[in-house]
Amino acid sequence: MSRLSAVFERTRTARRSAFVAYVCAGDPDFDTSVEVCRALLANGVDILELGVPFSDPLADGLTNQLAAQRALEGGMTAARVFELVRRVRTFSDAPIVFYTYYNLVFAHGVDAYFQAARAAGVDGILTLDLPPEEAGEVQAAGSRHGVDTVFIIAPTTPEDRIARISAATTGFLYYVSREGVTGVRDQVAGNIPEAMARIRRQTRLPVVVGFGIGSRSQVAQVAPLADGVVVGSALVNCIRDHLGNRERLVAAIGARAADLAAGTAIGA
Catalytic residue positions, numbered: 49, 60
Candidates 223, 205, 213; CA nearest to 262 is 223
* Burial status of residue 258 (CB atoms within 10 A of its CB: 0-12, 13-18, 19 or more): middle
Nearest to 104 by CA among 134, 67, 79: 79
Residue 14: count of CB within 10 angstroms of its CB: 12
How many Cα atoms within 13 Å fall on the side-chain side of residue 16? 19
- Which run of H or of E encompasses 226? none
* Crossing angle between the packed helical segments 30-41 and 233-241, to the nearest 10 degrees: 130
One-letter amino acid of 7 = V
